[in-house]
Structure 1
Amino acid sequence: MTDRITAGLSPYTDAADVVEAHDLAGRTAIVTGGATGIGIETVRALAAAGAEVTIAVRNRASGEAAAAQINAQLGADRASVGLLDLSDLSTVVAFASAWGDKPLNMLINNAGVMACPQTYTADDLEMQIGTNHFGHFLLGVGLARALMNGAEDGRSARLVSLSSLGHRRSAINWDDPHYRTRPYEKWEAYGQSKTANALFAVGFNERFHDLGVTANAVMPGGIMTPLQRHLPREEMIAMGWMNDEGVVAQGFKTPAQGASTSVWAAVGDELEGVGGLYLENLAQALPWGVEPMSGVMPYALDPEGAERLWALSEETTGVKL
């Protein structure tokens, strides 16, 4: 891949260093799940560079605490909170309606659920793909006009869709995405949802690139955050994520390092006007298998798969462009 796009930085660079040279004064951003983990570090970095950032969360108290912490640190009120529960599509509609057509420069679909027991959303969708993809699909479509209004001369508005290395575990099961008839397997379900996140970026970019909005998928890396809430300690030890004493394995990133590729996707000059990519370690990902345990599977960037998922998403959410 001779024309591979990179930030030219170490994969372990903090998000604050990625955004350091950027002046985001007067620009707006929404970060879903921005109260904890890599989400709060994404908010912190963007707000420190001058952006007005809305933390979109289902737990308002948690969001208010995160916003207060960041605003106190900056000495300026740049972080605010909006109520959004991606597992309940009615709240997604309400959030997008409340935002309206106000210019939006960056939408970072960061929130997610991983390897949870078999449960279903308020709209009877399997919890992982329902939250991670369908909720974010409806949000992105609902804010599309705002993103178009956020595009400026010489500078696109950007949607960032967080995927995962876990996408390798499963493509989309078109026959039964919600496990109505097949046995549930939590990691397969997570992988399917993360493949959907990557395909959503491909589909969104295809529709809005010429209207000034680009979209890319991001693999943030291995980070210990509340995302692991459903995983027993014994399982994480068995997978090699930590040792018996709870020491995290070498190669894992801090939350600030894990937020760096999301922030680069949102502001990086190297990505201006570029979309439909899968990014990891502050670079365009190589194909899966070129390097150990990294890269993107071909089905996660497949244009036909993206179109098929878009049609399914419109049917599922009842929202059509």
Structure 2
Amino acid sequence: MSQWKGDVSAADLPTADDVLRGIDLTGRTAMVTGASSGVGLAIASALAAAGADVTIAVRNVAAGARVAADIAAARDVAAPAIEAVDLLSMASVRGLAARWGNRPLDILINNAGLMAPPLTRTQDGFESQMAVNFFAPFLLSELLLSNIVARKGRVVVVSSGSHHLAELRLDDLNYERRDYEKFEAYGHSKLCANLLAVEYSRRHMDKGVTMNAVTPGGVATNLGRHVTFEDAVRLGWVSADGTLPQGRMKTPEEGAATPVWAAVAPELEGRGGLYLEDCAIAPVWSPPMPSGWGVAAASLDPAAARRLWDVAEPLIMETAA
């Protein structure tokens, strides 16, 4: 179990390449969603450099093609394959799984995310952050289960310290009966993602498959395109004078370290339902840890995880193919 480290800006932060040093992934397959930029790109690049057969699942196929070519040139490896998927559409998720067919899958990293947009609903009736951050990873991970079982693989779902901002609301997952606050909704979707890892692992660990939730930490990417400076000050992410309380943001390569660690670390073999932070199992939050550090105990509650699954599964499985 890791210990709270306080000011991580003082640490020599590892990158995904550091995590993979000495690890050969030749012959192993990996799928990374949202890999056309930011942390997802860094994850895909590092896995490909370590020898994995990588597929990047992206909404913008043209951007994905450019990224794949860049990875091939920079790493002197075969270009990752590209699959189209729009995580706002469960039909698109089903299409991706259908095209994958019966190919085995060693690593599935549900990296794509959506943060703090105005209230919007998908064609399936889902609030958009819940769709991208929870419902789509849930559906994709279930549809590809037999592929992952074939390799006793690992599933990773990218979460956020923002899960501390929310309490689980099983009676209104899609903000149909309560006011929508965009950051609380983001935190709620990530809390649900954490609980997904708990219940998915409980259900499938006997098949050799686990899921863990990870936070990349604070990384400056286009995930924050809906966040204003005023938002960031209000949430304590940045000071009013523009300085960062934690010293600096992580680079995408540093942000990719924990998701990659979750996918390959030998010490995580057979372990699921965890929340990982800074390449370690996060401690449960308690004072004097600052808000946003560690994991909220509610994220690890197995009873809540089962109840969430029971509410969410029918919503997902009833969506159109």
The two structures have a TM-score, normalised by structure 2, of 0.91
Aligned residues: 310
Within 1, Cα distance between the matches of 2:123 and 2:233? Answer: 33
Give the letter aligned to residue 29 of structure 1: A
Matches within 5 A, 1:66-215: 66-151=67-152, 157-215=153-211
Q: Is the 8 A contact 2:2 2:283 kept in 1?
A: no
Structure 1 residues 260 and 66, CA gap change in structure 2 (3 angstroms): same
Structure 1 residues 115 and 254, CA gap change in structure 2 (3 angstroms): same
- CA drift of 1:269 comes to 1.0
Within 2, Cα distance between the matches of 1:245 and 1:61? Answer: 38
- CA drift of 1:197 comes to 0.7
Within 1, Cα distance between the matches of 2:135 and 2:236? Answer: 31
Matches within 5 A, 1:1-321: 4=1, 12-151=13-152, 157-242=153-238, 250-290=247-287, 291-293=289-291, 294-318=293-317
Structure 1 residues 289 and 141, CA gap change in structure 2 (3 angstroms): same
- CA drift of 1:195 comes to 0.5
Q: Is the 8 A contact 2:31 2:54 kept in 1?
A: yes
CA RMSD of aligned residues (A): 2.0
**Post-superposition CA distance 1:133-180 (Å, at most 9, x none):** 0011110001001000122xxxxx100011110001112211111111
Within 1, Cα distance between the matches of 2:244 and 2:22? Answer: 32
Within 2, Cα distance between the matches of 1:53 and 1:92? Answer: 18
**Post-superposition CA distance 1:198-225 (Å, at most 9, x none):** 0111111111111111111101111111
Give the letter aligned to residue 53 of structure 2: E
Within 1, Cα distance between the matches of 2:206 and 2:132? Answer: 28
- CA drift of 1:316 comes to 0.5
Give the letter aligned to residue 266 of structure 2: D
Within 1, Cα distance between the matches of 2:70 and 2:224? Answer: 23
Tell me which moved more, 71-80 or 241-250.
241-250
The two structures have a TM-score, normalised by structure 1, of 0.91
What are the ranges of 5 or more consecutive residues in structure 1 without an aligned counterpart? 152-156
What are the ranges of 5 or more consecutive residues in structure 2 without an aligned counterpart? none
Within 2, Cα distance between the matches of 1:139 and 1:31? Answer: 12
What residue number does 1:154 align with?
A: none
Q: Is the 8 A contact 1:203 1:307 kept in 2?
A: yes
- CA drift of 1:319 comes to 6.2
